[in-house]
Structure 1
Amino acid sequence: MKTRSNTRDIVVVAASLGGLQALRTILSSLPTDLPASIFVVVHIGAWPSLLPEIFQTDCLLPVMHAQDGQPIALATVYVAPSDRHMLMRNGVIVLSTGPKEKFARPAADPLFGCAAVEYGSRAIGVILTGKLDDGAAGLKAVDACGGFTIVQDPSSCLAPDMPKAALQAVSPDRVVPLEGIAAAIVSALTDDSRKRLSMDEREQIALETKIVLTGR
């Protein structure tokens, strides 16, 4: 995957209850020449998933289920398949049957943590509507490793638990209603602000990510 080292170009997005419509709204508003890769986790468990087909009806970018070993391409939306954690390493996607996180597989925390360790300040983490608190620890990891953080305004969520938990875990760069998420993502791609890295947290995140990867 070719990219400038200082460019934010990895976007990880998590949603649960209410996420289907939220994601359709966001993905339909992204430009066709988006200079980033989008990774989406929805809590679907082991149920068969038609999410790529559903999202593709509104989205101008290609949308697909992620495949193990698939090279990461720009201007593409990758959706975590049923019963697999979606991760990335060395420019390719890694699917894992590692332990469930927050009672979910696929889950947000493994994806966000892996993006934080692999891509640091290049990562953008987005938490959307959903129950419970999956994604809060992952968004904290993105922030600790220098990435950009976006949280959907809980008042615009069908289920505000996930955004509220994220807001308790980190002070995000942006808190915006659903209609502003796509614009916030596009704006974050060229945001050149940099954060102080937490190396202790990064090492802990890297260890946790390694455990998930060994569960393949």
Structure 2
Amino acid sequence: MTRRDFIAIGTSSGGVDALRAVVSRLPHDLRAAIAIVLHVGTHGSILPSLLNMAGPLHAVHAADGETYACGRIYVAPPDQHLIVEGSRLRLVHGAKENFARPAIDPLFRSAAAEMGPRVIGVILTGLLDDGAAGLEAIQTCGGATIVQDPADAFARGMPLHASPFADDILPLAGLPRRLIELIDGKRDARATDEAAPRDAVERDATPPRARFPGTTPSGARGRRASPSR
């Protein structure tokens, strides 16, 4: 079985607090690298410092051409798309996607293409729909996909749009444990006591548009986590 050793996380509005909550509960010897895109635009970012204070993993702004390593966090720097190319991270000053640079979809698409089932894609709180198409790509290439429960998110837009492509929809408190399970190879384990009810995702939701030609959200193979009782 392919070991999952690369976590790609995308978030926007409310994302700093969400990221700090997740990394605070990850072990210092995590057997995966983490790449993060937060919508910061051209503004200065101290996110690596904030993550370093929140948890045991070392966080840095990604450098163009560096080789990623397990147990480290790589943050997309301002005004640069972060992508994966082989065993290295690359920074690209390409066109904005979904009104953002850095954007989530370039990271997710490249990770899916380069690593397939090794990738765990995660969408946290945020507005609009960046990351939904990339999460579908990760799922299509055999990776695992997790979306924060929209009812638990500061901003529901990104989780709602990404939910059709989620293997697990969880509140923030349940995400670290699920990540560790996936890295450890427990692919079918479900944290049922922390899982979000399906109707929390579906209520008040407008079905997102198809991401690829001939693909509709109703045909997505995303599995929800078992509802809490």
**Category of TM-score, reference length = shorter chain:** 0.7 to 0.9
Question: Higher helix share goes to which structure?
Answer: 1
Measured in 1, the distance between the counterparts of 2:102 and 2:24 equals 23
Measured in 2, the distance between the counterparts of 1:167 and 1:180 equals 16
SS in 1 for 2:67: coil
Q: Where do 5+ consecutive residues of structure 2 fail to align?
A: 189-211, 213-229
Tell me, yes or no, if structure 1 residue 182 matches structure 2 residue 193: no
Tell me, yes or no, if structure 1 residue 107 matches structure 2 residue 98: no
Partner of 1:64: 60
Shift of 1:110: 0.3
The partner residue of 1:47 within 43, 49, 65 is: 43
What TM-score does the superposition give when structure 2 sets the normalisation length? 0.80
The partner residue of 2:13 within 17, 21, 27 is: 17
User: Once superposed, which parts of structure 1, at least 4 consecutive aligned residues long, lie more than 2 Å away?
Assistant: 190-194
Q: CA RMSD in A?
A: 1.4
- Pair member with larger Rg: 2
Amino acid across the alignment from 1:105: R
Comparing both chains, which one has the higher relative contact order based on Cα–Cα distances under 8 Å and sequence gaps of 6 or more?
1
Q: 1:192 to 1:118 in 2, by over 3 A?
A: farther
Contact 2:181 2:187 in 1 (8 A): no
SS in 2 for 1:57: helix
SS in 2 for 1:114: helix
Deviations 1:7-58 (A, max 9, x none): 1001000110111100000011100010000000000001011110111111
Amino acid across the alignment from 1:181: L
Q: Where do 5+ consecutive residues of structure 1 fail to align?
A: 195-200, 202-216
What TM-score does the superposition give when structure 1 sets the normalisation length? 0.85
Partner of 1:197: none
Measured in 2, the distance between the counterparts of 1:90 and 1:123 equals 13
Partner of 2:123: 127
Partner of 2:4: 8
State the identity %.
44
Tell me, yes or no, if structure 1 residue 161 matches structure 2 residue 160: no
Shift of 1:193: 5.0
